[in-house]
Structure 1
Amino acid sequence: MLGLLKTVGLGMLVVSALAVTSLAHAEDIKLMDGVAPRHDDTRLTAAGAFKKDPPWVIGMSDFGVNANTWTVQVAHEAENAAAKDKRISKFILLDAGFDQKKQVADIEDLIAQHVDAIIVQPVTSTSANASIAKAVAAGIPVILHTGRIDSDAYTTEIQGGAEHFGKVMGDWLVKTVGDNGKIWVLRGLAGHPEDTNRYNGLLESLKGTHVQIIAEEHGDWQYDKAKKLCETLYLNNPQVDGIWSSGADMTRACVDVFKQFGTPIPPISGEGNNGYFGQWITDGFKSISPEYSPAQG
């Protein structure tokens, strides 16, 4: 699945927002490999609106660096990319730790430091909207990453297409368990737009079927929490035909639970993390792994 981009093409998330010169036509925009403009949004940020000569100070407001292995990797990749780019004099990474108020304070802090651009991975679809608008009004471009918000106040975004992601998994699971199957649903972080939109994709898959969701829980995309949830679900009712997992480390956790109890692993959706791929190869259970382009992070 291609990453989906609104407004300004990104050579990197930040570099093009600051270095773009003349982008009079959409076809002139240079996109990262694996990124395509979102088909339902043709708006463009004015060429050169945020142009500034380097060196640049870049801020990043992360919704939760230690949420799972993917978020840890993205944070370190961002730090590494900034360290290698001579145009970036300083990279400031702030961790909201899933706290909406902390993220608002972090963005306000970055504005006060007069950074040249801010990357935001939102905690929820609404919590940081006012701060994002404030940053843009102060002349600071805001790059929204992995999580759509209920506002157009940002400068540009890079997304993976969460609804499609969830629907691909849902379509496969419906086909695999049959029209009358009973499934568990393991969701991500409650309130996070990526969780909401992946789940909406699943609901689209279930329309017109008799598939029943017999259990639905938020595992926060974390291994430890998802493992406890799957243990509880299994002990309460092990009769499940399939599992829709929103991804990250939750699939690996649930697979380990079934192995722990010595019972067959039901069909379960997953996300392209290394640990999960290793399980899939070794244990041979039925699964599917939709994945975003590496350009997503």
Structure 2
Amino acid sequence: MKTTIATLAATTLLTGMAFAGEHGGKMTIGITQNNVGVDSYQTTYEKAFIAAAEANEMVEAVVLDAGGDVARQIAQMEDLIQQEVDAIIIWPTNGEAVIPAVRKAKQADIPVIVTNSNIAEQGAEFVASFSGPDNITQGSRSAEIMCDKFKEMGIDGEAQVVHITGQPGYTTAIERAKGFEDRLPEVCPDVTVIDTQPGDWNREKSQKVMEAFLVKYDDIDGVYAGDDNMGVGALNAAKAAGREGIIFVGATNFAVGYEAMERGEYWGSIYQSPVDDAEAALQTAIDVLEGKDVPALNYFDTPKITQDNMGDFTKPVF
């Protein structure tokens, strides 16, 4: 998929031109996203990014979507390099596989901003800044949410948990899993994670994963899912099987998760706005081009949300 905001004819490219802050020229910023169609978070992110770019008269944006295909994303990176855009924002389909393309942009003196899900550590030297959530902290906070609930229920000495992760190889999935699995034994050392399987950010697949867990294990006290889309899939499986009393905790609070919390069926999650995510990525790219001091890891906060405090948060729009 390709959406171009402000047609980029070869004659309008800013080859060799100074950036907007110096000579009044426009900044051409390209973005290649992971997979807009996979979930409502990414769909909302794209809409917010386009709106923010259109609202800034100093920005011309080229908006691309890799459709979850690593090879397509690498080709999109190469296309943006050939267009000589001023900066590239990448939402990686795979944190390791995209590193050569990011390095190529760096060699072409095009700053790269990684958004939402970071690339693997060995690629950090080629990146101007990462803009997005601290996914390890999110996983850690999800573990704390679950542990606190188990302590409230008096089962923190024996509870058993299953874990549904995101897409294998995807940095967000890896980091959220690490944050959860590292933090849970620190706060609830007697809670056991009895199984872990990928749900690929997909509700239907996660429902099937949970169905298999329910057949395999008679005793499941908690489910941690890497996002609420997967968590609600797991919840649907438990409801269909008549298995009650399971504590569901996710990350990235989707509208379906928020609604399930309202019904008392889903305990907690991490509140993250795709609008904030998109706007932060664009602003980070602008700040880099304007020569501002931008941190290597430019995080925005993602607080805990549970049934107890959800009244403090507006329902997600995705």
Say whether residues 1:145 and 2:125 are aligned partners.
no
Residue equivalent to 1:120? 90
Deviation of the 1:137 alpha carbon = 2.4
Identify which range, 108-117 or 96-105, moves more after superposition.
96-105
**Kept in 1: contact 2:132–2:277 (CA 8 A):** yes
Q: 1:235 aligns with which of 208, 215, 234?
A: 215
Deviation of the 1:295 alpha carbon = 2.4
**Matched letter for residue 288 of structure 1:** G
**Kept in 2: contact 1:69–1:248 (CA 8 A):** no
Deviation of the 1:153 alpha carbon = 0.9
Q: By percentage of residues, which structure has more helix?
A: 2
**Matched letter for residue 86 of structure 1:** E
**Matched letter for residue 277 of structure 1:** Y
Deviation digits for residues 16-70 of structure 1, max 9, x if unmatched?
A: xx9685xxxxxxxxxxxxxxxxxxxxxxxxxxxxx67433332111121122111
**Matched letter for residue 136 of structure 2:** E
Instruction: Provide the aligned C-alpha RMSD in A.
Output: 2.2
Say whether residues 1:108 and 2:78 are aligned partners.
yes
| SS of structure 2 residue aligned to 1:214 | strand
**Kept in 2: contact 1:226–1:250 (CA 8 A):** yes
Change (3 A) 1:20 1:82: closer
Distance 2:23 2:208 in 1: 49
| SS of structure 2 residue aligned to 1:107 | helix
Q: 1:193 aligns with which of 153, 168, 171?
A: 171
Deviation digits for residues 84-138 of structure 1, max 9, x if unmatched?
A: 322233x322222222222211101111112222110112222112211221222
Residue equivalent to 1:67? 38
Say whether residues 1:281 and 2:254 are aligned partners.
no
Distance 2:83 2:19 in 1: 20
Deviation of the 1:247 alpha carbon = 1.0
Deviation of the 1:286 alpha carbon = 5.2
**Matched letter for residue 49 of structure 2:** A
Distance 1:223 1:258 in 2: 13
Say whether residues 1:135 and 2:135 are aligned partners.
no
**Matched letter for residue 296 of structure 1:** D
Query: What are the within-5 Å matches in structure 2 for residues 39-78 of structure 1?
Result: 53-78=24-49
What is the TM-score when the length of structure 2 is the normalising length?
0.72
Q: 2:63 aligns with which of 79, 88, 93?
A: 93
**Kept in 1: contact 2:20–2:26 (CA 8 A):** no
Identify which range, 285-294 or 163-172, moves more after superposition.
285-294
| SS of structure 1 residue aligned to 2:105 | helix
Q: 1:157 aligns with which of 114, 117, 130?
A: 130
Deviation of the 1:73 alpha carbon = 1.1
Deviation digits for residues 236-294 of structure 1, max 9, x if unmatched?
A: 32420101111141111112222222331511112321121011102x13512222365
Q: 1:225 aligns with which of 180, 200, 205?
A: 205
Matched length: 249
Residue equivalent to 1:81? 52
**Kept in 2: contact 1:165–1:291 (CA 8 A):** no
Residue equivalent to 2:191? 211
What is the TM-score when the length of structure 1 is the normalising length?
0.77
Change (3 A) 1:264 1:20: farther
Change (3 A) 1:190 1:52: farther
| SS of structure 2 residue aligned to 1:289 | strand
| SS of structure 2 residue aligned to 1:243 | strand
Residue equivalent to 2:143? 170
Residue equivalent to 1:292? 272
- Unpaired runs of at least 5, structure 1: 1-17, 22-50
| SS of structure 2 residue aligned to 1:213 | strand
Identify which range, 59-68 or 254-263, moves more after superposition.
254-263
**Matched letter for residue 253 of structure 2:** G
Distance 1:84 1:66 in 2: 24
Distance 2:76 2:245 in 1: 42
